[in-house]
Every structure is written in structure tokens, then in C-alpha cells.
Amino acid sequence: MIVKLRQPKREVTVDGNRTVNQLLDELDMNRESFLVIRNGTLVPGDGRLDDDDTIEIRPVISGG
Amino acid sequence: MNYSKCRVCGERAIIDLPRHNANFCGEHLLQLCRRQVEKAIHDHDMLSKDDKILVAVSGGKDSLAVWDILLELGYRADGLYIGLGIGEYSDVSGDYTREFAEERGLTLTTIDLRDEYDYDVPTAAKVTKRVPCSACGLSKRHLFDKAALDGGYDVVVTGHNLDDEAAVLFGNALRWDVEYLARQYPVLPARDGFPKKVKPLMRLTEREMAAWCIVRGIDYQVEECPMALGNKHLAYKDALNSIERESPGSKSAFYLEFVDKMSPILAEHRRTTGRELVACTSCGAPTTEPDSGDAPVCAFCRLHDRVSGVEAVPVEMVLNKKARKAYLAAQAAGE
């Protein structure tokens, strides 16, 4: 799956299905500091992500 | 297929909130947020439906969300946006704010620091050799106060959320800064020429506010301010989120229990240590009398006198090495 990240803005490709929490753990990202969005819709921590999904991992610490 | 279910209705959940030990669908996430705002307003006597409210909007998730929630709850609220001149970051933030207001037919006042006061935040930081957040906060506080009083508003609403307040509390507690701890309260009553200020998002986390905007379809400035990169406030938020991950609910207990249990103890300190205020001889805003016997001039006017008319300094010129590297990389990536 393609995973879009910010700060800095970049994309990484991750192979294989996994849950949101597994993905965040693999990328060493704290679940409290991010939201995961699949095709414009939020996905909870135990939500499954498929190989052909495009995922955005959005930091929640932002904005003046 | 198995999927997590909303605690309220049993439909498919979109978010897990470990501090509530529950998952929620979009509709019931919104309900939770509205109820937390209503509780904050009620418990701390923040607002009434008759109040004329001015929301301090930045184009970020929190200020747009609090404006949205207050309107949903039936409050009358206008917005004020201040263009701080922080390069593309300010341009994008202003666009999101105007878009939000225009789509909903809301009243939005815009003040551009460079156009109206002949300076911007990067230039102020460079000239004063202080951290940019200091010049930014000072400018915003003064202009929001002034706009509220000039416009006949009863109260200024800011989008400070639970994470913001917990991070400030953490920093103040690390130094046992009793002066600041005594002043940290979600309501500042009107006094001596200052308008009332309230923080209705005090019970909601940063993650919940970002989720509110996504569910409600509100576009906001997702990037952090380039001038804030690497500051202590963000480091405290990271530290608290590490604790929260191991022990969900810690962050809200830390801050909300402080408000409930420590603030009353510190209230006496608040009452007895406030300095007498006098009018600034330049703009009339309230300020402290200088010990030197000089004419009182407020911090905003002193800043303005020093930086007004100085040629604009680019954002990257006032960042530390690490922040500059990150900023330039982001620019190169087309952000």
C-alpha cells in the first residue's frame, strides 16, 4: 500500500495487509499523535488496511 | 468481516479513543465533542446564548472546529484572523479561514500585520532576538483584545485544546512556576480593559479535534507553523503523548484534575499578586506601570516601535539550524 506522510511530506510503500495500529508501530509513530485516513475516511486502530489502499497518516499536532 | 463498533450505536467505528476505552462512528464522535464543549461551557460559566462572541481563528483545526461547534450549539460567533506574515504558511492558513467563513456566510475580520502595522512575525523575531512565538503571541493577544473591545464583543474564544493546556501545565510544573500556574485557568474574566477570554475545547484532545474536522469536511492547515518547529511546547506534547500511550487518560487527568483541585488552591495567589494596571500612553491598552517612573507604554507598542518599517525578513532567516533544514526540505518538496 502507498502511505502518505507529512512533516516532511513524502510517500512510502508498505507490502502486505495489516491493521492501523500495526502500521503505526512499524513506522514508530505514536497512536496518540496521528490519525489514519483511507480514501478520505478515518480508520480506527484495529481497522484492517489492504495492499491496494492509499493511506494518509496525518499528524494531529498542527495549526497555530 | 470483523470490525470495531461504535460504543453508542453499534455501527462501524471510525476512531478509537483509548482514554474513553471506546470506539465511535462519525456521528457519535461529533456528539461526544459537542457534549464535552457544552460541559466545559456549563461547568466554567464560559458563555451564554446572548453573548456576542469573537473567535480567534488561525486556519488550524482547533479554531475552525471551535467556531463550527459553537455555531452548531446555537451561539452567535464572528471570527478574527490575523495575518502574521509567516511566508506560505500564513498564506495557506488565511485561505482556509476565508474559505470556511465564506462557505457558511460568517462574519470574518482580517488584520494583516504587515499591511496595518508595517511588520511581521519573522521580522519581529529577528529584530528583538527573541523566539518567534513570543512576538507572535504578544501581537495576537493585543490585537484580539483590541478587536473585541472595539467591536463590542462580550468574550473572546480561543481554540486551545486539552493537549495545549496540558503541555503548558507540564512546562509550568517542571519549573514550579507558581505565577503561571495560578493564572492557568480556562476562563479569564474581563478586567481592567481586558475582554473575557475562554477555552471551550479544554476537555477535547488534539486528536479528537483533528477527527472533528475530517468528519465535518473542514479543510484546515495541517502543517505545524515552521517557526514553532523544535520548541519546548511541542516537546512537552510529545512527552505527554508517550505517557498517554502507556496509560490512556493520563493527559486529561493531569490537566482537568489540576483545574478542579489545584486551581481553587491557587485562586488566593491570583487575587493577591495581580499588579495594578494603567493605560498605555500610546494606545490606551492596559499595561503595568514601569518601576522607572517613565510613562507607561504597553509591550505591543514597544515591539511595534522597534520593528515597524524594518524590511521583511524571510522565514528561514530566523529558524535554528535544524528547523531551517526541515523548512527548506519542505519547501523543496512543494509544500
What is the pLDDT, as a whole number, of residue B275?
73
**Distance separating alpha carbons of residues B227 and B58, to the nearest angstrom:** 15
What is the pLDDT, as a whole number, of residue A64?
53
What is the pLDDT, as a whole number, of residue B260?
97
What is the pLDDT, as a whole number, of residue B122?
94
What is the pLDDT, as a whole number, of residue A19?
95
Mean pLDDT, residues B282-288 taken together = 93
**Distance separating alpha carbons of residues B313 and B122, to the nearest angstrom:** 6
Mean pLDDT, residues B94-119 taken together = 97
Size of interface A-B (CB pairs under 8 A): 107
Residues B150-177: tens digit of each pLDDT: 999 999 999 999 999 999 999 999 999 9
Assess whether pLDDT exceeds 90 at residue B291: no
Report which secondary-structure segment, H or E, holds B83.
strand B76-83
Select from A42, A50, A56 the residue whose CB has the most chain B CBs within 10 Å, as the one to mutate to test that interface.
Answer: A42
**Distance separating alpha carbons of residues B52 and A20, to the nearest angstrom:** 43
Assess whether pLDDT exceeds 90 at residue B206: yes
Residues A2-61: tens digit of each pLDDT: 999 987 788 999 998 999 999 999 999 999 999 999 988 999 999 999 999 999 999 998
Structure letter (DSSP) for residue B118: S
At B271, the amino acid letter reads R
Query: Which of A10, A32, A44 shows the shortest C-beta gap to B13?
Result: A44
Report pTM: 0.95
Beta carbons of B224 and A62 less than 8 angstroms apart:
yes
Buried b (16+ CB within 10 A) or exposed e, B105-127: ebebebbebeeebebbbbbbbbb
C-alpha cell at B25: 462512528
User: What residues of chain A lie within 8 A of the CB of B335, using their CB?
Assistant: 8-9
Across the interface, whether the CB atoms of B330 and A7 are under 8 A apart is answered yes
**Distance separating alpha carbons of residues B254 and A47, to the nearest angstrom:** 30
Nearest chain B residue (CA) to A44: B15
Sign of CA dihedral B157, B45, B255, B21: negative
Residues B237-264: tens digit of each pLDDT: 999 999 999 999 999 999 999 999 999 9
Nearest chain B residue (CA) to A42: B14
Which has more confidence, B256 or B191?
B256
For chain B, give the mean pLDDT.
93
Assess whether pLDDT exceeds 90 at residue B326: no
CB neighbours of B330 closer than 8 A, spacing ≥ 6?
Answer: A7, A8, A9, B223, B226
Distance from CA of A60 to the nearest CA of B (A): 5
Structure letter (DSSP) for residue B247: S
The winner for highest mean pLDDT among B202-206, B312-316, B324-328 is B202-206
Query: Which of A31, A42, A63 shows the shortest C-beta gap to B220?
Result: A63
User: What residues of chain A lie within 8 A of the CB of B209, using their CB?
Assistant: 60
What is the pLDDT, as a whole number, of residue B125?
92
Concatenate the DSSP letters of all residues of B249-272 into one string: THHHHHHHHIIIIIHHHHHHHHHH
CB neighbours of B164 closer than 8 A, spacing ≥ 6?
Answer: B62, B206
Across the interface, whether the CB atoms of A61 and B224 are under 8 A apart is answered yes
- Which of B232, B217, B221, B185 lies closest to B57 in space, CA to CA? B221
What is the pLDDT, as a whole number, of residue A39?
86
User: What residues of chain B lie within 8 A of the CB of A42, using their CB?
Assistant: 14-15, 26, 211, 214-215
Structure letter (DSSP) for residue B74: T
Which stretches does DSSP call E strand in A14-53? 18-19, 34-38, 41-42, 48-49
Nearest chain A residue (CA) to B60: A63
Integer CA distances (angstroms), B65 to B27, B59, B99, B257, B333, in order: 15, 10, 14, 24, 28
Across the interface, whether the CB atoms of A35 and B333 are under 8 A apart is answered no
Helix (H) and strand (E) counts in chain A = 1, 7
Buried b (16+ CB within 10 A) or exposed e, A11-45: eeebeeebbbebbbeeeeeebbbbbbbbeeebbbb
Q: How many CB atoms lie within 10 A of CB B255?
A: 24
Beta carbons of B278 and B287 less than 8 angstroms apart:
yes
Beta carbons of A14 and A33 less than 8 angstroms apart:
no
Distance from CA of B200 to the nearest CA of A (A): 16
Assess whether pLDDT exceeds 80 at residue B271: no
What is the pLDDT, as a whole number, of residue B335?
53
What is the pLDDT, as a whole number, of residue B132?
87
Beta carbons of B240 and B167 less than 8 angstroms apart:
yes
Across the interface, whether the CB atoms of B329 and A8 are under 8 A apart is answered yes
